Amino acid sequence: MPPPEHVHWLFASGFLALGLFLLAEAVVGREVWRKRRWRAYLWPSTMFLMGLGMWPVMAFFTSSTLHMLAHGAWAEVMMLAGAAELGLASGKLRSPLWRLAIVLAFVVTGAALLVHEQNDWFFQRSAFLHHLLGWTFLVAAVFPLGRALRPRSAVFASGFALAFVAVAVMLYSDRDVAPVFGHLSPMAGEPHR
């Protein structure tokens, strides 16, 4: 069983990959990005697989009910958003309303992050990052929403991509052994390196 920090870092790598795919799409434009069919499936399938990979986290890390439910919510919305985008890319889904699935995923993820973190902002690094991640997802939900309404907007496309890069950086910084923000509270135990 991997320790929790490793799970965070592995998911950070997934988000970084998502960010790079979407940044590349924002740079070259949708027409070029979709010239090869596999590329249209690339980021949605990555997100779908990340959702699938979140279920073991829910099932194996059961230190509290709240924790378990939060991870289940993330798993579910990632799978849903990935599935909706895959359906749209393949033409199986036609209604543009399905584009709102990723907006829903951002909102649910942000809210679940804030609700499941019961410590104060400055209690310890992970608490700080959970608050920051939660607010990042909530605020950044404007980008997928804008992208759904204006698919050709470079601003929304870039913002959407950079949100994933930011999330990746935060997840890499998470856990006590990663002293990016220092050890914030003596209540959180002995400081690590």
Partner 1 sequence: MRRALLLGLLVALAWPAGALAHARLKAEHPQFRERFEAAPARVVLRFDQAVDALANSIVVYDTRGKIVSRPARNGADPRTVLAPLQRVPRGAYTVRWHALSSDSHVVSGVYTFGVRMNAPPPTEAYGASGPTRSEDVVRWLYFAALALLVGGLGFRLLVLPRSIPEALERRFYIVTGIGAVGIIHVGIAAFIMRSEDALQLPFGRLLYGDLSPVATGTRFGQAFIAMTLGFTWVLALLFLAWLTGRRALLWPTLLLALVFASGLSLSGHSAVDSSWFTQLADWAHLSAAVLWVGGLVQLAVCVWPAAPGLRREAFLRFARLAPVLIAVLVAAGVYLSILRLPRLSDLWTAGYGQVLLVKLGLVSAALAWGAFHHLFVRPRLERTGWARRSLVGEGAVAMTILLLAAILVNAKPPDQAARRTSLVSNVSSSPSNPP
Partner 2 sequence: MTQIATEAPRETYSRRSARAYVLSALGPVTVVAGIVWALLQPYRLTFLHPRDQGFWWLLVEPQLLVMLVGALFHFLVVPSLLEDLNEFDEEEP
Q: State which of residues 34, 36, 92, 152 lies at the interface with partner 1 (CB under 8 A).
A: 92
Sequence length of the chain is: 193
Q: Give dist(CA 174, CA 179) in Å, integer.
A: 9
Residue 2 in the binding site for partner 1 (CB under 8 A): no
Nearest CA-CA partner of 21 in 35, 41, 50: 41
**Which one of 25, 85, 117, 174 is in contact with partner 1 (CB under 8 A)?**
117
CB of 49 to partner 2, least distance (A): 14
* Contact status, residue 41 vs residue 89, Cβ threshold 8 Å: yes
Closest distance of CB 134 from partner 1, Å? 7
Q: Which is nearer to partner 1, 55 or 181 (CB)?
A: 55
Distances (CA, A) of 181 to 127, 173, 193: 11, 8, 12
Using rule CB under 8 A, residue 156 touches partner 1:
no
Question: Near partner 1 by CB under 8 A, which window of 10-18, 123-131, 142-150, 165-173?
Answer: 123-131
